[in-house]
Amino acid sequence: MSDNSKGKATSRRQFLSGAAAVGVGAVGSGAARAASPDPLITQVQEWAQATGEGVDATPYGLPIQFEKDVVRRNVEWLTADTISSINFTPIHALDGTITPQGCAFERHHSGAIELSKPDYRLMINGLVDTPLVFTYEDLERFPRENRVYFCECAANTGMEWAGAQLNGAQFTHGMIHNMEYSGVPLRTLLEEAGVKPAGKWIYVEGADASSNGRSIPLEKAMDDVLVAFKANGEALRKEHGYPVRLVVPGWEGNMWVKWLRRVEVTEMAIESREETSKYTDTLEDGTSRKWSWVMDAKSVVTSPSPQAPITHGPGPLVITGLAWSGRGSITGVDVSVDGGKNWVPARLAAPGTDKALTRFYLDYNWDGSEMLLQARAKDSSGYVQPTKAQLRDVRGENSIYHNNCIQTWWIKESGEAENVEVS
């Protein structure tokens, strides 16, 4: 948390005078209930009458049973099977910005493989002075960095182009995760091999059957790409590329090659191989945008939302969500409760950081009436997240990938929420 809590009294007063038009008001007060004889307070409960589990009951901890619904989910009709498929992060139920690996979305083209550290090899070849092979242990001996980045599949929100379709932030925006990666800059390894002047691209591939081969400009490879072997402090999970994956900050998830086995330095982008360059954005006139790698600024209200309805009456309501940009950091998020007619600035939980998720809050005094809830992100490049209509004007409705438009939730008087479009 930043020190936004300081000077609360002053900012609260400013809030009340400045934001009355959209009902932003008393922050938090009124959420507690008056003390009354509640058995949960006055009686000794079952869990206090016996001892609990000892320290070794769960050597590797799992979430408590009451949180069993906070899991990744897939949409069965989207893909023919679960091998070449995707599931979604339960962003509606998470807070903060770091995604636990256990519920971070997975996307495999040929399933998640098991590759041990002793069997792991990474080769760098092509236009280099000395082709090299690294073992896992070799990688651990290079100077290491820790960095937090989001990974968003280019298809995130892809089903929403033609109209509001999936009823939940998990399904509309959950092809994203945000982790702290530990690894070696790819630049360090490429410099070890010595890139020849003719080398302008790298072709990266994984050890799985699909290989997920992708071409990446050398400029990006030498900039901020990481060869990562830890996420959130622990080994990568099998489904996220154990033991080593590529982290390509701000760029679409399909370039983040898992089970990384080879980096070939090439003169040109390799497009001839069957598995390469499949991600394009088809426009209204039938032509396609190619190599739209960067993920533009985007945001979504995670709560309230269809899977996280309001379960209490009018009064204090924490509106919260996530914002991110592949072009830099989030500088601000605005929230609208009336479908984009009026906007108020949300509070960023911490200043936005480069190519990572930013958490925002709007401490709102809900009067119990329905809302058309939206969030709009701004990033350090000056870019402002577009409306759906603005995006369609430029891109039409034939695309699947790179849909970063403003999302609308219709919050009903009952507190339930629905995915809708506003004109």
Q: Give me the residues that bind ligand MTE (CB under 6 A), please.
A: 104-109, 151, 153, 177, 206, 208, 210, 212, 239-240, 253-254, 256-259
Nearer residue to ligand MTE within complex by CB, 253 or 304: 253
Q: How far is the CB of 359 from ligand MTE (least distance, A)?
A: 20
Nearer residue to ligand MTE within complex by CB, 152 or 334: 152
Q: How far is the CB of 12 from ligand MTE (least distance, A)?
A: 40
User: What's the CA gap between 422 and 374, in Å, rounded?
Assistant: 10
Q: How far is the CB of 367 from ligand MTE (least distance, A)?
A: 40
Q: How far is the CB of 252 from ligand MTE (least distance, A)?
A: 7
Q: Which residues contact 97 (CB under 8 A, 6 or more apart)?
A: 148, 178, 322, 349, 350, 356, 357, 358, 359
Q: How far is the CB of 237 from ligand MTE (least distance, A)?
A: 8
Nearer residue to ligand MTE within complex by CB, 254 or 320: 254
Nearer residue to ligand MTE within complex by CB, 25 or 241: 241
Residue with the CB atom nearest ligand MTE in the bound state: 206
Which of 69, 92, 105, 254 is CA-nearest to residue 178?
105
Nearer residue to ligand MTE within complex by CB, 11 or 276: 276
Q: How far is the CB of 339 from ligand MTE (least distance, A)?
A: 31
Nearer residue to ligand MTE within complex by CB, 254 or 374: 254
Nearer residue to ligand MTE within complex by CB, 12 or 237: 237
Q: How far is CA 53 from the centre of its chain?
A: 35
Nearer residue to ligand MTE within complex by CB, 106 or 281: 106
Q: How far is the CB of 177 from ligand MTE (least distance, A)?
A: 6
Q: How far is the CB of 115 from ligand MTE (least distance, A)?
A: 10
SS (H, E, C) the chain: CCHHHCCHHHHHHHHHHHCHHHCCCCCCCCCCCCCCCCHHHHCCCHHHCCCCCCCCCCCCCCCCHHHCCCCCECCHHHCCCCCCEECECCHHHCCCCCCCHHHCCCEECCCCCCCCCCCCEEEEEECECCCEEEEHHHHCCCCCEEEEEEEECCCCCHHHCCCCCCCCHHHHHCCEEEEEEEEEEHHHHHHHHCECCCCCEEEEEECCCCCCCEEEEHHHHCCCCEEEEEECCEECCHHHCCCCEEECCCECHHHCCCCEEEEEEECCCCCCCCCCCCCCEECCCCCEECCCCECCCEEEEEECECCECCCCCCEEEEEEEEEECCCCCEEEEEEECECCCCCEECEECCCCCCCCCEEEEEEEEECCCCEEEEEEEEECCCCECCCHHHHHHHHCCCCCCCCCCCCEEEECCCCCEEEECCC
Q: How far is the CB of 262 from ligand MTE (least distance, A)?
A: 11
Q: How far is the CB of 102 from ligand MTE (least distance, A)?
A: 12
Nearer residue to ligand MTE within complex by CB, 193 or 204: 204
Which of 209, 185, 271, 200 is CA-nearest to residue 84?
209
Q: How far is the CB of 282 from ligand MTE (least distance, A)?
A: 18
Q: Is 194 left (phi over 0), alpha (psi -120 to 50) or beta?
A: left
Nearer residue to ligand MTE within complex by CB, 212 or 385: 212
Nearer residue to ligand MTE within complex by CB, 214 or 376: 214
